[in-house]
Structure 1
Amino acid sequence: MAFAAGDRVRSLAYTVKMAENFDEAVAQSMAISENIEQDIKARHIVAPDDRSAVNVNNTLEEAKKIYSLIAVIRNVFWFIGIFTIIAGVVGVSNIMLIIVKERTKEIGIRKAIGALPGSIIALILQEAIFITAVAGFFGLFAGVGLLQLVSPLVDNDFIKSPQVDFNTALTTVIILIVAGAVAGYIPARRAAHIKPIDALRDE
């Protein structure tokens, strides 16, 4: 885009094409700035170090500041998410402890008829992972649905087609499974150490 007064061009505006990532956009911007400056100075016989005749103003620094701000916001969201998961793990662990307490007789009977400690641990872990996964997937789908609703409202030059990245969703699933296993580990170990005779006496 050219800005002119009469027959004299005072400024030219260039925009780089859409890049795959920020680093690629930075490389494109730097290369274009250097090429434009060198080409114009060569065409009009201007000294390479003369900034008064030809000056290239690159908004890259402003873009870096915006990108840094976005990175900080992303890290804050990860921080909040991690602490939310920790709180969820504690909550699910407490729920599983209550469940183990209520099913003491059932666990005792299972062990009395030959159930191994490993099978008891696996049973409790499966239930803990299931509870964590159901709650986590509900939150994930609710987040995706909310994003679809607000996407048309925030679609502009800075935010294009906001969506949940597949790798992020996959990472979330893995974290949910691990969180469920961690939440159920202590209750599962406690259940595995229940003695059948004590369990049958439990009221």
Structure 2
Amino acid sequence: MILLGAGNGLSNGVSQNFMRDAVNAMWLWTGRTSIPYKGMQEGREIRFTNADYDILKDLEGIEKTSGRYFIGGNLFSYGNEYGEYTAVTCHPDLKDVESIDIVDGRFVNQVDIKQTRKSVVLGKDIYDALFDGKEAIGEYVRVNNIPFKVVGICTEGGGTRHRNAYIPVTTGQKVFNGSNRLHNFALTINAETLEESQAIEKRVRETLARKHKFDATDDSALGSYNKLEDVIQTMKIFQAIDIFIWIIGIGTLIAGVVGVSNIMLIVVKERTKEIGIRKAIGASPASVIGLILLEAVMITTIAGYIGLVLGTGLMEGLNFVVEKQFEASAATNGGNGETLFRNPTVDLGIAMSATLLLVVAGAIAGYIPAKRAAKIKPIVALRDE
């Protein structure tokens, strides 16, 4: 139970860290070409535009799409409060891609995009610094001295710092001289297997390579990160760890079976005269076998159940400590905590299966001593000292 609980705790902790963004998320960014292509020299700068967004959002295998235009070094101010934060212009789908949680109000929507509204969604840290608990929805903050209406407060997908503000991409491009430029894309893909994920990523690269005229294999021209690949590979590692834990657990049970079997052999030896008397007054071999098997099953079941309860109790106690630490971390990090070890408990079904396995192990442990006891001749047993 301790082995399985520890394995589950590690798996759950890593899985939760992956959930900070959508599991099937993909990010794309541009750079400079490093491979000559159709007579064009390397070193050409590749830039995303709004036209690339129109292509990607309709591409097969793409679910959610958001272009992002970064505005660095932004001064946010409200009344007498001010601070340097990051303004990110985006499409509404970014909320799903990066698992952005809305604390109050709403996120950027399509009306904001179409009407180039001066709307802004503040990260929780920005809200705390500028408003200090006061009502912010409907108020105006100044971004580089340009007023934006606050429409929402958010936290950033499990992160511990919430210092980004989100503005409609069309507004950001218009107000901050972005023209039709986009710096990168955040996507989610419709894939469940590694092969499907890689096929979609290849399709995306080839589509953008044709449009911007560069080699599709040129990672310098187009950088990408496919999160699903990491998730699938990591989960395979944990599956292997689970198998290894079960092997160790089964090995431990086998050692226990051998130990109980040896104990029962000693018990049979010490009770030879008793067994002889039982057989002399009419006990059948089957009843003798049943007696020894019952004792073996009782030993393994009772002792095993005690171990089961202690192991489960220890894991529950550890889980309580871990959760308290997680809550404390979340309280000091804007509502989100970080951990590599979470919920180290074992499913009730597995616990019941382990108990049943103990009963079977007890029967196996007692079978050889029971067969030996059944073969004892009464006359020999009665002479035993």
TM-score, length basis structure 1: 0.75
Residue 84 (structure 1) shift: 0.8
Aligned to 2:383: 201
Larger Rg: 2
Give SS of 2:283's match.
coil
Determine which of 83, 93, 97 is the counterpart of 2:251.
Answer: 83
Q: Which residue of 1 aligns with 2:294?
A: 126
Partner of 1:187: 369
* Larger strand fraction of residues: 2
Q: 1:163 aligns with which of 318, 324, 345?
A: 345
Give 1:56 deviation, angstroms: 6.3
Percent of matched pairs sharing the same residue:
48
Relative to 1, partners in 2 of residues 1:201 and 1:76: Cα closer, same or farther, differing over 3 Å? same
Residue 81 and residue 106 in structure 1: after superposition, are their counterparts in 2 closer, same or farther (change >3 A)?
same
Per-residue deviation, residues 156-198 of structure 1 (Å, max 9, x unmatched): 5766533211231122122211111111001000111111121
Corresponding residue number in structure 1 for 2:70: 5
Q: For structure 1, list consecutive stretches of 5 or more residues without a partner in the other structure.
A: 17-24
1:148 maps onto 2:321 in alignment: no
User: Using a 3 Å threshold, how does the CA distance of structure 1 residues 116 and 91 change in structure 2: closer, same or farther?
Assistant: same
Residues paired across the two proteins, number = 189
Q: Distance in 2 between matches of 1:97 and 1:146?
A: 33
- 2:247 corresponds to 1:71: no
Is the alpha carbon distance of 1:9 and 1:148 closer, same or farther for their aligned partners in structure 2, counting shifts above 3 Å?
farther
C-alpha separation in 2, matches of 1:187 and 1:78: 28
Q: Deviations over 1:84-122 (max 9, x none)?
A: 111111110010011111111111111111111111101
Partner of residue 269 from structure 2, selected from 101, 114, 117: 101
Alpha-carbon distance in 1 for matches of 2:308, 2:187: 40
Deviations 1:54-91 (A, max 9, x none): 98642111112211111111111111111111111111
Q: Which residue of 2 aligns with 1:22?
A: none
Higher mean Cα deviation, 100-109 or 143-152?
143-152
More helix per residue: 1 or 2?
1
Q: Which amino acid aligns with 2:69?
A: A
Moved more, 153-162 or 173-182: 153-162
Aligned to 2:284: 116
Cα distance in structure 2, aligned partners of 1:96 and 1:173: 20
Secondary structure, in 3 states, of the residue corresponding to 1:121?
A: helix
Distance in 1, matches of 2:182 and 2:284, equals: 85
SS in 2 for 1:99: helix
In 2, Cα distance between the equivalents of 1:130 and 1:2?
66
Alpha-carbon distance change, 55 to 145 in structure 1, aligned in 2, over 3 angstroms: same
Report the Cα offset of residue 14 of structure 1. Answer: 6.0
Deviates most, 77-86 or 4-13: 4-13
For 1:162, what is the secondary structure of its paired residue? coil
Secondary structure of 1:146's aligned partner: helix
3-state SS of 2:183 partner: strand
1:10-43 Cα offsets, whole Å, 9 max, x none, are 3454679xxxxxxxx836xx69x96xx98xx9xx
TM-score by length of 2: 0.42
Deviations 1:99-156 (A, max 9, x none): 1111111111111111111111011001111111122222222221121122242765
Alignment RMSD (CA, Å): 3.5
Following TM superposition, the consecutive aligned residue runs of length 4 or more in structure 1 with deviations greater than 4 angstroms are 12-16, 50-56, 154-160
